[in-house]
């Protein structure tokens, strides 16, 4: 899991268990790093701040300015936070994973098609082994059907993500 993806995930997980009313960002961040100390760096502070500001922009948190302070208040449900998480850069992460899986499955399909061609070749060369070769060929054909179905599903998912 990449650092950004992990930060998004754990921050949303933390926020979904909390309700804030008139809290300053530093209070939210301190509570977050208390539960997830691996995100206590300055870099994570800035990323967390950006995520909180995005939550404000999406109306999942409200922001009220009092004197020199900004106060944040929860305005979300767990499902709305999860939707927010999916719309973040995790979508690109899913797209990348789906693309690599699609490529891998396509490679396997090509290998199995070659296998089937070789089974046909060897059945002609060694007719005495026809029954044994047919059993292997049948397994490869079943695996090919399975992988072709998987490609169809991956295509459906990729076009809708």
Structural domains of the chain sorted by starting position, each given as residue range(s) with its CATH number in brackets: 3-87 (1.10.10.10), 90-160 (1.10.287)
Please give the Cα distance from 156 to 161 (Å, whole number).
Answer: 9
Closest CA to 36 of 20, 56, 12: 12
**Plot region of 60 (φ>0 → left; ψ -120 to 50 → alpha; else → beta):** alpha
Please give the Cα distance from 104 to 110 (Å, whole number).
Answer: 10
| DSSP string computed for 128-142 | GGHHHHHHHHHHHHH
pLDDT in tens, the chain (161 residues): 455 667 777 887 787 777 778 778 778 888 888 988 888 887 788 888 888 888 778 777 777 776 666 666 666 666 666 676 666 655 556 777 788 889 999 999 999 999 999 999 999 999 999 999 999 999 999 999 999 999 999 888 888 76
- In terms of C-beta distances under 8 Å and separation of at least 24 residues, what long-range contacts does 155-159 make, across chains too? 155/102, 157/98, 158/95, 158/98, 158/99, 158/102
Residue 1: predicted pLDDT: 46
């Amino acid at each position: 899991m990449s650092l950004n993806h992990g930060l998004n995930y754990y921050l949303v997980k933390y926020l979904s268990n909390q309700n804030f009313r008139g809290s300053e960002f530093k209070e939210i961040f301190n509570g977050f790093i208390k539960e997830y100390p691996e995100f206590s760096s300055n870099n994570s502070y800035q990323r967390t701040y950006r995520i909180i500001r995005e939550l404000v922009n999406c109306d999942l948190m409200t922001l009220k300015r009092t004197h020199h302070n900004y106060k944040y208040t929860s305005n979300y449900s767990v499902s709305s936070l999860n939707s927010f998480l999916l719309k973040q850069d995790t979508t690109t992460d899913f797209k990348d994973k789906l693309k690599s899986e699609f490529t891998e499955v396509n490679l396997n399909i090509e290998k199995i098609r070659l296998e089937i061609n070789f089974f046909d070749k060897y059945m002609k060369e060694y007719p005495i082994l026809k029954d044994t070769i047919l059993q292997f060929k049948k397994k490869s054909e079943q695996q090919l059907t399975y992988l072709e179905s998987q490609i169809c599903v991956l295509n459906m998912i990729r076009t809708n993500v």
